[in-house]
């Protein structure tokens, strides 16, 4: 069991290290969010599983599984909300970004999502009714 704990702890620490390096190396907020969410979630999960196996206690295993489930459910949602807030605040994408799917669909003045052409289509549809 010590070998399994050692392997899980090692790989968990490596993934957390990758998340830290990615946080320093990525050029913009959005890529930093992606790297840290994925790598840190996996790394922390592996470290928690290693700790649960090491203690060899069922009550701790249940608590660790609950914590891992909580992290898996909340990390992507919080990263999405942080990224959306950053976009709405006007934080620019990296100049090497290939695609901006929200370009032209978000009005920074009114803080509404939807392109002007869509608003015009809705207005015309309302006029027809």
Check: pTM over 0.95? Answer yes or no: no
Summarised one tens digit per residue, pLDDT across range 30-86 is 889 988 899 999 999 999 999 999 998 999 999 999 999 999 999 999 999 998 888
Summarised one tens digit per residue, pLDDT across range 18-31 is 999 999 999 988 88
| HSE-CB for 125 with a 13 A CA cutoff | 6
Which tokens is 84 given? Answer: 């959306």
pLDDT (0 to 100) of residue 79: 92
Of 71, 75, 90, which Cα lies nearest the Cα of 34?
A: 75
pLDDT (0 to 100) of residue 108: 65
pLDDT (0 to 100) of residue 75: 93
């Amino acid at each position: 069991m010590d070998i399994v704990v050692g392997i899980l702890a090692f790989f968990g620490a490596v993934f957390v290290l990758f998340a830290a390096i990615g946080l320093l190396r990525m050029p913009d907020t959005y890529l930093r969010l992606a790297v840290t969410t994925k790598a840190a979630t996996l790394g922390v999960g592996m470290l928690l599983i290693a700790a649960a196996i090491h203690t060899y206690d069922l009550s701790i295993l249940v608590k660790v599984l609950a914590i891992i489930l909580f992290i898996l459910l909340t990390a992507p949602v919080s990263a999405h909300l942080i990224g959306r807030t950053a976009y709405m605040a006007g934080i620019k994408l990296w100049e090497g970004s290939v695609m901006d799917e929200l370009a032209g669909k978000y009005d920074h003045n009114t803080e509404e999502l939807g392109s002007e052409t869509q608003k015009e289509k809705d207005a015309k549809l309302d006029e027809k009714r």
